Structures are given as structure tokens and as C-alpha cells.
Amino acid sequence: MRWFKLFLIIVLINAMWPVFCTPASAEICNRVVAIVNNEVITLYELNGKIRELSGVEPSVLEAQNKEGYIDARRKVLDLLIDEKIASDKVRELGIEATQGDLDAAIERIKERNQWTHEDLVAGLAAQGITYEHYMENIRKEIEHMRLIDFEVKSKIIVREEEVKQYYDDHGDEFKSHEKVRLAIIMLFNENPNEPVPPSLSMKADEIISRVKAGEDFAELARTYSQGPSANEGGDLGFFNPAQLDTKLRETIETMAPGEVGGPFVSPNGIQIIKVLEKQETGVKTIEEVRDAIYDTLYKEEVSKKFSSWIKGLREQAYIKIIF
């Protein structure tokens, strides 16, 4: 009966396909490229997946590197086969994403990217993707993740000795490099082609005097700085000292946290710098990186378990590749 159903599927598809792109080229646009249990994967579906993953037309990829294209096409076909097998398992287990699940996922995507609904739809349209197709992909992703949670993740345990071993074996990953956190008061020269005017220098000297007299640097930055971090009290965050101008770096190396340096004069204006914090080179403790190591090991184990699980499903499935 199973073979009869497959025979009917192939007969029905071949009654319509192959479909030719143009009479002149006689290039086949669609045909069956694989059978997975009672479902088929078409060339149209395969090319669509390649286009979705690469953002490039398959014909362009093939023209650029035929051997590489053939290898990539086979990997994408394997991915589609795995998706079909996983979808069968989703149906078997009765896993279903509700409309509420889809709406919540879409809202998270919009919030993360600070998009309106119109932004999302316009972005999809620019990529040649309909909103309905996008929603269908989201639905499959949710259902497949729940399947992996059920079949794979629930059976994974990361032990403390594994975390410790990873820490011992990957010491270089946990070295913290020297960093310095700076705050700045920036006074711009309105005409960079001309020398900094005396009035600007006088203002800088006045600000430095007020800081040394005990006034709060952050408040002075909010009042006088013309730099982009003025509203944050001039706080620029952390820098690797190697990223800084040589003269500025050499000065900062001699400064302790809390000290103020300057004025530093350039054609663009005058900078007054405060060192907020310094972090020396060192090695993070296992307590500091335990969660990160756990996440790494967990993801590695998920990948291994999933590969083993999907391999087992493939061995039980009927798969025929027609290339």
C-alpha cells in the first residue's frame, strides 16, 4: 500500500512536471528530486531553500563555482530531508504551534529589531518573501524546537566535572585583557581649519579647575560636553588601550582611576579625560565563566544528540534521492 501511494504521488507530479522555463532553453524548472516516506521534495522547493539560505539565485551560484554549488546543493537537500522527517515526527507526537505562539514569536522579533509591523512586511517583501510564508517558517521552527526539547534536550545532563575539564583545557579563552573605562568632556572647535580659539582654551581650563576643586565630572560633562556621551556624564565605556591615540594612551597609562587629564588639544577641539576604571590582564575564575562554559557544553551536546537522533530517524525512513 505504501508503494502504491508513492507510485500515485510520482505519477501525479510527473503528469504536471517537468515544467520548462522557456521553449528556447528547454531548461527544467521543476521535478521531483527526493522522496521522503510519503512526501516528495521538488527542484522548485530545493532551489527556493538555496535562495533563502544564500540570498543568491542558484543559477548564479552554479555559474560561479559548479563543483562547490553541487556540494552545497546536496547539503541543502539533506537539510530538507531532515526537515521532512522532523515534520513527520511533529505530526506523530501531536506537537502544534498555536496562533498565540506565532503572534508572540513575531512580537519578540519586532521588539528585538525595533521594527513596526510595516517594517517587517516591507523587509520581507524586499527579499521576495511573503508574510504568510514567513509565518509558516516561524510555525515550523517553533514546532521543531519543541520536538528537539522533547526528544533531545530533556535527556541532556552537563556534569560539574565536564565544566571543570573544559575550563582547564581552554585557559586561553578565559584570559581577560587590559581595559580602561573613560569619560570625556568634549569641546568642539567650530572651525577645524583654524587654531583652537583662546575662549575655548579658557573654558577647558575653567572646567579642569572646577573638577580639581571637587565638582562632579559627570555633571560638568552633562552641562558642557558637546560629545555624544554627554547625557551619560561623558561615560564612553571600556576600551582596549591599543585602540587609543598614542599620546592619549601614554598619558592614561600613568593615570589612576579617578584622575582627570587634559586638556588634549586637536584641530577638532579640546578633550578632558577622566579614568573611571582600569581592568588589568588576568584570568577569569571558574565561578565567573561557569554559566558560559555550561552553555557551550550544552549546545555541543544538543548538536551531537540531535545528529544521532536524526540519523536514527533517517535509518527508519524511506528516502530516495533522484538526481
pLDDT > 50? residue 17? no
CA gap 141, 135 in Å, rounded: 10
* Cα distance from N-terminal residue to C-terminal residue, the chain: 25
- Backbone φ and ψ of 253, nearest 5°: -60, -30
pLDDT > 50? residue 95? yes
The pLDDT score that the predictor gives to residue 260 is 93
In the chain the domains, ranked by start, together with CATH numbers, are 1-94 (no CATH), 103-151 (no CATH), 178-280 (3.10.50.40)
Average pLDDT over residues 200-227: 93
Mean pLDDT, the chain, whole residue set: 85
CA gap 142, 139 in Å, rounded: 5
pLDDT > 50? residue 16? no
The pLDDT score that the predictor gives to residue 26 is 41
42-69 pLDDT, tens per residue? 999 999 889 888 888 898 988 999 998 9
Average pLDDT over residues 319-323: 88
- pLDDT cut 70: percent of the chain above it: 90
Tallying the residues shown for the chain, one arrives at 323
Q: Which three cell numbers stand for residue 83?
A: 526537515
The pLDDT score that the predictor gives to residue 20 is 44
Q: How confident is the model at residue 209 (pLDDT cuts 50, 70, 90)?
A: very high
pLDDT > 70? residue 12? no
Contact between 37 and 318 under an 8 Å Cβ cutoff? The reply is yes
How many C-alpha atoms does 151 have within 13 Å on its Cβ side? 22
Contact between 181 and 217 under an 8 Å Cβ cutoff? The reply is no
